[in-house]
């Protein structure tokens, strides 16, 4: 039989992670994306550094932001299931 343990510290950590994700972290990632798109417009910002930004810096950063947002959504789903399981099992307050 495997060990099952759910301390108050674990429950608190789950709630805090959920709060951070739900409290705007994914919204801030979307805001970064919006500003990156603005800077990627040659009619807004142009020159050698702007071209580097458009050509490599921003595409790489946007890919990382998109991945982070996807992973945060997956984490939120997993934490919702974990919380539900903990509270269903009678470990919730």
Share of the chain above pLDDT 90, in %: 56
Task: Indicate yes or no: pTM above 0.85.
Answer: no
Q: Dump pLDDT digits (tens) for 22-49.
A: 888 988 999 999 999 999 999 999 999 9
In a domain, 63, yes or no: yes
Query: What is the rounded distance in angstroms from the CA atom of residue 34 to the CA atom of residue 26?
Result: 13
Query: What is the rounded distance in angstroms from the CA atom of residue 27 to the CA atom of residue 34?
Result: 11
Which parts of the chain are beta strand (E)?
A: none
In a domain, 29, yes or no: yes
Q: Dump pLDDT digits (tens) for 80-90.
A: 888 887 777 65
**Total number of domains constituting the chain:** 1
Share of the chain above pLDDT 70, in %: 91
- The conformation of residue 22, written as its DSSP 8-state character, comes to I
The contacts of residue 64 (CB under 8 Å, 6+ apart) are: none
In a domain, 8, yes or no: no
Domain that holds residue 53: 19-86
């Amino acid at each position: 039989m495997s060990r099952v343990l759910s301390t108050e510290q674990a429950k608190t950590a789950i709630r805090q992670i959920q709060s951070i994700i739900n409290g705007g972290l994914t919204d801030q990632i979307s805001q970064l994306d919006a500003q990156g798109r603005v800077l990627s417009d040659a009619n807004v910002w142009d020159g050698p550094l702007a071209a580097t930004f458009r050509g490599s810096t921003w595409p790489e950063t946007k890919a990382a932001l998109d991945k982070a947002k996807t992973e945060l959504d997956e984490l939120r789903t997993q934490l919702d299931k974990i919380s539900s399981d903990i509270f269903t099992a009678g470990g919730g307050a």
